[in-house]
């Protein structure tokens, strides 16, 4: 637990403007950068030549909003049509619930990879509900998906913390949600047009875009 709080303190400055709009308003320009994300072995949803990666925290309301509003559009436009794959990577940025659920997420991917994104979405859409992110919540989730609760809660907390440090230090994550398309970090995680422009080559690595000042 001590290690979690040290991480939380270390990240509080970069996450003080955790919403997309706040991050945009405080930045004058953005240079499109491509990252070699460490997700080669992560389970993917769909098959396609493009890859969309969603980096999030289960406890942050804007991440739930992204799952509600943006993910269905991505599925309809690019996953179901075979144009893109999707990967969702939770981080531990906000609180103890984030930590527990990132651990649960890791175990779900190990235990039932074929249903991984079904469970990930179910957790994300439950965000903010009574008891969300507690051990009791995890046990109810295990019952719902016919999993062993003890296996679902098996402790791999260090992995979640290490991922959070890695993405904030080396892969440009300054707020959540953050989205990458083919490794290129987007300005606006909610913009389907921006995703399309990266996929069709209209936006390329090194391009710059001016952003409104605060």
SS3 78: helix
Q: How far is CA 145 from the centre of its chain?
A: 22
Number of neighbouring beta carbons within 10 Å of residue 26: 15
**Residue owning tokens 């249903």:** 115
77-86, 100-109, 154-163, 181-190 — which is least confidently predicted? Answer: 154-163
Supply 94's token pair: 């906000």
SS3 185: strand
Strands (E), the chain: 29-31, 50-56, 84-90, 178-181, 184-185, 208-210
Number of neighbouring beta carbons within 10 Å of residue 29: 10
Number of H helices, E strands in the chain: 10, 6
> What pTM did the predictor assign?
0.86
5-62 pLDDT tens trace: 334 434 433 444 444 444 444 558 899 999 999 999 999 999 999 999 999 999 999 9
Specify the pairing of strand 184-185 against strand 178-181: antiparallel
119-159 pLDDT tens trace: 999 999 999 999 999 999 999 999 999 999 999 999 998 89
SS3 81: coil
Query: Which domains, from first to last, does the chain contain?
Result: 2-24+43-204 (3.40.30.10)
């Amino acid at each position: 637990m001590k290690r979690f709080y040290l991480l939380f303190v270390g990240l509080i400055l970069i996450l003080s403007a955790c919403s997309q709009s706040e991050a945009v308003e405080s930045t004058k320009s953005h240079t499109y950068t491509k990252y070699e994300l460490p997700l080669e072995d992560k389970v993917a949803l769909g098959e396609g030549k493009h890859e969309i990666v969603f980096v999030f925290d289960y406890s942050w309301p804007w991440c739930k909003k992204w799952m509600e509003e943006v993910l269905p559009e991505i599925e309809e436009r690019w996953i179901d049509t075979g144009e893109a794959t999707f990967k969702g990577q939770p981080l531990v940025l906000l609180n103890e619930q984030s930590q527990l659920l990132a651990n649960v997420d890791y175990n779900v991917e190990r235990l039932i990879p074929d249903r991984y994104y079904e469970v990930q979405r179910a957790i994300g859409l439950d965000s903010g509900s009574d008891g969300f992110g507690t051990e009791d919540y995890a046990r109810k989730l295990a019952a719902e998906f016919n999993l062993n609760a003890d296996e679902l809660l098996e402790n791999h907390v260090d992995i979640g913390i290490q991922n959070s440090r890695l993405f904030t230090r080396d892969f440009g994550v300054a707020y959540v949600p953050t989205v990458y398309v083919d490794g290129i970090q987007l300005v606006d995680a909610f913009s389907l047009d921006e995703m399309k422009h990266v996929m069709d080559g209209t936006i390329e690595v090194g391009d710059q875009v001016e952003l409104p000042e605060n």
